[in-house]
Amino acid sequence: MSSISDHHDVIVIGAGHNGLTAAAYLARAGRSVLVLESRGIVGGAAVTEEVIPGHRVSFASYIASMLMPTVIRDLDLGRHGLSMVACDPILTVPLGDGQIIRWWAHPHRTACEIARFSARDAETFLDVDRKLKALAAYLQPFFLESPPDLAARGLDRLREGLRLFRRFRRIGGGEVGEMVQFLTGSLGDFLDRHFEADETKRMILANSVYGKHGGPYEPGSAVGLLFHLLAGGDHAVQGFNGHVMGGMGAVSGAIAAAARGFGATIVTDAPVARVDVVNGRAQGVTLADGRQLRADVVLSNADPKRTFLGLVGAAHLPEDFRRDIAAIKMGGPAAKLNIALSGEPRVIGRSPDAGPLERALLTIAPTLEGAQRCADIARFGDVPDELWIDCVIPSLVDDSLCPPGHHMLTCFIQFVPYHLREGTWDDRREAFTRSVIRQITRHMPDLPDLILGHTMLTPLDLERRYGLTEGNIFHGDLSAGGLFSMRPVPRWSQYRTPVAGLYLCGAGAHPGGGVTGAPGHNAAMQVLRDMPQRRRR
């Protein structure tokens, strides 16, 4: 790193996909940008890594669902190697009696699935799908702009009011009520109110609460369903889910290539020890090896707690701000199991005519009541006996991930506590792994005989490996009190921080988690708006 200049316009801490996105936009605008990454590879939690030699898989994040079409287009990610294949079905859910229900990309095809269990639910699904997509379309613009600034005054407050009016001028009174209900209400109550068949409810539940705290009957749990209906992918399709060729690391790789193409410098194996603050302004960073690098602006892609309670000295922040940051709910409720297989496992109840896209997905989801029990058990530090396990075999769609005939299985596990009531994750990791495999084996009976190797990432491992405080994949819970103008904390939702020249660009800022690129895009736009003001001063 001796050839790297000691001064840049911008330093970005962390080469997660949002940090890379911010770097790309800032470099495109002509700023000199340096990205510093503590690991040996870029991507943060959107990476492709080996389980055993020659067998690669998306280790943490694993499906592209809300990657913003604007980011794909602006950074020309297709030219830099990004290729996605749409999931269809979006998910398949085993019902425990040899039956499987599938959520297809086309709503009418999904309605036909539901009609096997309830004709009324089939009709209701089409109506609900249409209404929810309309509500999601109203929210869509807010994902690529700053949230309403609750601290704005004078003319700025008037401008904020005008912006909100423009965004919602076509929304009806009934839709406003539905929007508020979705942002604050419970998914369980919504499903119980609209649908009668448990099979329908389980299918919709299976696409709704990834990575969130709490169960489906808790306030704010419905918002996940709405977010998953935002437009994504190359063609801005609402509710898009896609397999990324080469794994999720290909998303980060494409963004990194775009950033480098615009002139940004990306350095790996360069952990940052602290943000250097002089007279209330960020002046650069000090690396773990003691080297100091100067910049006019610093962006942190780390989560709010790691940024403000770790990288920034307490003396440089208001005490009430630090208390608010410390109160952000973390305790990531998810784990990840990645498995290399010698062949494709058989799934009970699956049609022999199923194609690769259908065979690539299986979401083992409990009932609404079962999911609530799981959340309640995990809340007190215990691991539920029956877990939510989302299984993907991406090698059925992308044969570049492993040798011919072999396969990769990646499993997202929901409702797992970070803080255990008894023991430690280091002590319980292997027993937990065996339990998860046993639960999957009920639906894939030949799975144990096919396993060549595996890697379990508990919430503690997610923290250690990817720098996610308490293993929280969203950099803070996506609750009603932690979204939009409340993210990361009230009065500081505009990517700026109490330290002048220091910005937050990761998932802890609006609009939150998921591989969207939106926080990085929005933070870069805020920096570009602010930089000329500083120069005039």
Cβ atoms within 10 Å of 317's Cβ, excluding its own: 18
Which pLDDT value is given to residue 124? 97
Q: Is 174 helix (H, G, I), strand (E, B) or coil?
A: helix
Report pLDDT for 535.
Answer: 43
Q: Which DSSP category does 497 fall into?
A: -
The stretches in the chain having pLDDT less than 50 are: 2, 533-537
Per 3-state DSSP, the chain is made up of helix, strand and coil in percentages (nearest 5) of 40, 20, 40
Q: Cα 459–463–469 angle (5° rounding)?
A: 100
- 60 three-class SS: coil
Q: Where are the domains positioned within the chain?
A: 7-84+245-328+475-536, 91-240, 331-466
Beta bridge partner(s), residue 33: 10
Helices 173-184, 119-139: crossing angle, 10 deg rounding: 90
CATH fold for domain 7-84+245-328+475-536: FAD/NAD(P)-binding domain (3.50.50)
Name the one residue in this structure whose structure tokens are 């506590």. Answer: 417
**Which pTM value belongs to this model?**
0.94
